[in-house]
């Protein structure tokens, strides 16, 4: 049984002080993942610092023409916010593709970035797992691997990041705002999550003493041409086998700019700036998307149960570009 202390903070500095004062403390907000981890005895925090009263729920326009979303804004608040729906519909669609209405009402933006993998072995405290207990092994390498990574994995861990929201945030070039004992800093979204390498226990580059305070989106929201396509084993309330968040800027049928992030395939949302650069100036058609897809997926490696994800990813990418540029197609398909 987990025994832990509990405290509540009403200011960011107070939350950081409380966290710092107890080795093994953890912040709790919506708790939609952390409570599972506690119940399954995957994690054993000595103290839970409740941050729900911190003033971090705002969603506001920035002077640079972007949008700043407080880390405690719930998934629902973000998905139905007027500015998000109008200017960043890709983000709204990705959020609504995830979880259930009840969970979206409780889950927060900050928690979404920090949710842990859904690898079965990780949640089973009776099995070895390098992410849960470094150095114990990775049974997924030779075991059940249907939901595991095809890109960026290591011989220590083949887990994937489970978030839908993060796939859209990656495609939108978000910035993560952080506060810690040494002050505040920002991280590009691409640099926030890590690949497993030989330290799969570390999911992100968040420092132990830091708190996520906000996400900032740049001006370009791809409101006109975007799509989020998610393929999963169940029609709802299931994590992605593969998903793609695509935003395209067009001049006629020529690509001015295109962003594409994949979910369900790696330890972090998967993007490749070189592959995206290769699309610029090209006519958007099946051939250019196929070449892009081959570049984005180069190096993909399937295992016993998940080799299908390589071809599935190519199809999901093709479908996402199709939907992004032919919205009438979306309306006419079931």
Residues that bind ligand SF4 (CB under 6 A): 117, 119, 121-122, 129-131, 138-140, 157-159, 200
Smaller CB distance to ligand SF4: residue 152 or 200? 200
Smaller CB distance to ligand SF4: residue 110 or 196? 196
Smallest separation (angstroms) from ligand SF4 to the CB of 149 = 8
Smallest separation (angstroms) from ligand SF4 to the CB of 136 = 8
Q: At what angle do helices 286-296 and 308-325 cross, to 10 degrees?
A: 140
260 neighbors 170 (Cβ within 8 angstroms): no
Which of these, 302, 303, 284, 301, lies nearest to 292 by C-alpha position? 284
- The CB-side HSE value for 179 (13 A sphere, CA atoms) comes to 16
Smaller CB distance to ligand SF4: residue 129 or 261? 129
Per-residue CA distances from 242 to 162, 203, 329 (Å): 10, 19, 21
56 neighbors 72 (Cβ within 8 angstroms): yes
Smallest separation (angstroms) from ligand SF4 to the CB of 232 = 19
Smallest separation (angstroms) from ligand SF4 to the CB of 301 = 14
Smaller CB distance to ligand SF4: residue 108 or 130? 130
Which of these, 104, 58, 262, 91, lies nearest to 174 by C-alpha position? 91
Smallest separation (angstroms) from ligand SF4 to the CB of 267 = 9
190 neighbors 264 (Cβ within 8 angstroms): no
Strands 5-8 and 47-50: parallel
């Amino acid at each position: 049984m987990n025994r832990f202390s509990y405290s509540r903070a009403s200011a960011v500095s107070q939350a950081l002080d409380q966290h710092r004062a107890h080795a093994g403390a953890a912040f709790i907000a919506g708790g939609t993942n952390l409570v599972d981890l506690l119940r399954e005895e995957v994690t054993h925090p000595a103290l839970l610092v409740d941050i729900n009263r911190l003033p971090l729920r705002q969603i506001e326009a920035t002077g640079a023409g972007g949008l700043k979303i407080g880390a405690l804004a719930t998934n629902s608040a973000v998905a139905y916010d007027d500015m998000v729906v109008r200017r960043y519909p890709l983000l709204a669609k990705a959020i609504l593709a995830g979880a259930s209405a009840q969970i979206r009402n409780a889950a927060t933006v900050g928690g979404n970035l920090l949710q842990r993998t859904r690898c079965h072995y990780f949640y089973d405290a009776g099995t070895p797992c390098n992410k849960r207990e470094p150095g114990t092994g990775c049974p997924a390498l030779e075991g059940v691997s249907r939901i595991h990574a095809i890109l960026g994995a290591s011989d220590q861990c083949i887990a994937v990041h489970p978030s839908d929201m993060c796939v859209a945030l990656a495609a939108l070039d978000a910035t993560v705002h952080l506060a810690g004992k040494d002050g505040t800093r920002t991280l590009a979204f691409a640099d926030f999550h890590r690949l497993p390498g030989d330290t799969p226990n570390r999911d992100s580059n968040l420092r132990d003493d830091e708190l996520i305070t906000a996400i900032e989106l740049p001006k370009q929201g791809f409101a006109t041409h975007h799509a989020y396509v998610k393929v999963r084993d169940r029609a709802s309330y299931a994590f992605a086998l593969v998903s793609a968040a695509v935003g395209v800027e067009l001049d006629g049928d020529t690509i001015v700019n295109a962003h594409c992030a994949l979910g369900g395939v790696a330890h972090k949302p998967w993007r490749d700036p070189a592959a995206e650069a290769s699309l610029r100036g090209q006519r958007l058609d099946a051939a250019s998307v196929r070449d892009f897809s081959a570049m984005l997926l180069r190096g993909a490696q399937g295992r016993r149960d998940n080799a299908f994800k390589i071809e599935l990813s190519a199809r999901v990418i093709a479908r996402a570009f199709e939907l992004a540029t032919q919205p009438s197609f979306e309306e006419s398909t079931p």
